Amino acid sequence: MFEVNENYTRVSEFVIVGFPGLHPSFFQLVAWFFFCVYLITVVGNFLLVVMFALERSLQKPMYIIMLSLALSDIGFATVALPNLIARWWRDDGRISFHTCMFQEQMIHYFGTLNSLIMMTMAMDRYLAICHPLRYPMLMTNRTMSGLTVFSWISAQVAPGIVTVDFSRKVAFCGPNRILHAYCDAIALTRLSCSNMVAINDSSYGLAMFVLLVPLSLIIFSYVSIIVTVMRMANAQGRRKTFSTCGTQGCLILIYYIPRFIVYSTPYMPNLTITPDFRVGLSLICSLFPPVANPFIYCFRTKEIRTILGRWRQRWGNSRTEPPETQQQRSNSRVPNSRDPTAESPTAEIQQQSPQQQSPQQQSPQQQSPNIFPLLHLAIS
């Protein structure tokens, strides 16, 4: 059992230190920097949420998982950054005990959720590129919605176990200065006056399971995608695949490797890192992906760029044209007319696959171009 001396004063609040070595003259600059990071994260991801809600063409499996990732990134930034900004903006890092416990739970929840979402996204692209003919049957909107709901629910399991252990078995009776940018399990265990050996071991085991299992499936998916494209695509397709997979692979490595280092440092006697370096490493792997995800996964796709261009054109026309002209134009539009900026998916498929033969009648060399509409959508 975890025995603690009963004669102690329970800690009622903690103090978020952030970077211990940061000079006070830089507090305002750092606060503005993280405020801009928070603003970019929320605006970029919220724009994707609005686009998904308004554009029926985006309501398909790949964009469902992107919507889930956007909501998760907004949630993580909202949980982690406001207290951190207030710590440097007002030089006030105080946070109540129960608020800190809630933040610790949500920090690990969204970290676990992002790991599951990236695994689901990688498996979706594996099916789209490596099994293009079976993809429409295997990955429907209902299937992706079910996987997304499962990810959001199951992501609570590991953080919930850690939170229960902290609430039942951990006592804080002394120092209350958290040498981190937010409340997390590693920072809190260093302030405990309980015997933390068993809790640390179980927390580390859960963290490695949450990190390594999805990472293994992600690596398998991307290796299979590269092998498939090398066999079937032309030189231009291979270059685009390596460019896209390389960008996404770097983002995935930035997410996983620093976390592995931070979690494994206490179990590696020869590996020591300073508190400032540990805080910076944690912030990079936690905040850089939410900022970059909308640009890497979403705004680079042709379909979303087309929608944004159409929105910008409509907004420009609404500013330059009088209301009477806009009303006349809307009344004179033919219902079947197309927006000239939009491109028909059927026309795109016909351009990329001119031979109108069924897959059963084509040879293996002739079947390969048929995956390019899915390939373009999956790796754009």
pLDDT in tens, 168-223: 777 777 788 888 889 888 888 888 877 777 778 888 888 888 888 999 999 999 88
At residue 238, does pLDDT exceed 90? Answer: no
The least confident of 81-95, 197-211, 346-360 is 346-360
> Exposure pattern of 210-248 as b/e (b: 16+ CB <10 Å)?
bbeebbebbeebbebbbebbeebbeeebeebbeebbeeb
pLDDT of residue 348: 40
What pLDDT does residue 54 have?
86
Amino acid 197: pLDDT: 77
For residue 43, pLDDT over 90 is answered with yes
At residue 149, the pLDDT reads 94
* 318-337 residue pLDDT tens: 767 665 655 555 555 444 44
Residue 74 has pLDDT above 90, yes or no: yes
pTM: 0.77
Per residue, what are the HEC states of 191-202?
A: CCCCCCHHHHHH
Check if the beta carbon of residue 337 is closer than 8 Å to that of residue 305: no
What's the confidence (pLDDT) of residue 204? 85
Distances (CA, A) of 361 to 27, 133, 232, 358, 367: 68, 14, 18, 5, 9
Cα(373)–Cα(377) distance, integer angstroms: 6
Output the CA–CA distances (angstroms, integers) from residue 70 to 14, 114, 118, 218, in the order listed: 30, 10, 12, 19
What band does 261 get if pLDDT is binned at 50, 70 and 90? confident
Percent of the chain with pLDDT over 70: 79
Under the banding of pLDDT at 50, 70 and 90, the label for residue 376 is very low
Give pLDDT, residue 338. 41
C-alpha to C-alpha distance for 213 and 217, rounded to whole angstroms: 7
Tell me what pLDDT residue 233 has: 62
- The pLDDT value recorded for residue 196 is 73
d(Cα 161, Cα 166) in Å, to the nearest integer?
Answer: 9
The 10 Å Cβ neighbour count of residue 302 is 12
Q: Is the pLDDT of residue 251 over 60?
A: yes
pLDDT (0 to 100) of residue 57: 81
- The type of residue at 223 is V
Task: Judge whether residue 7 has pLDDT over 90.
Answer: no
Q: Is 214 in contact with 115 (CB distance < 8 Å)?
A: yes
* Contact indicator for 152, 68 with CB cutoff of 8 Å: yes
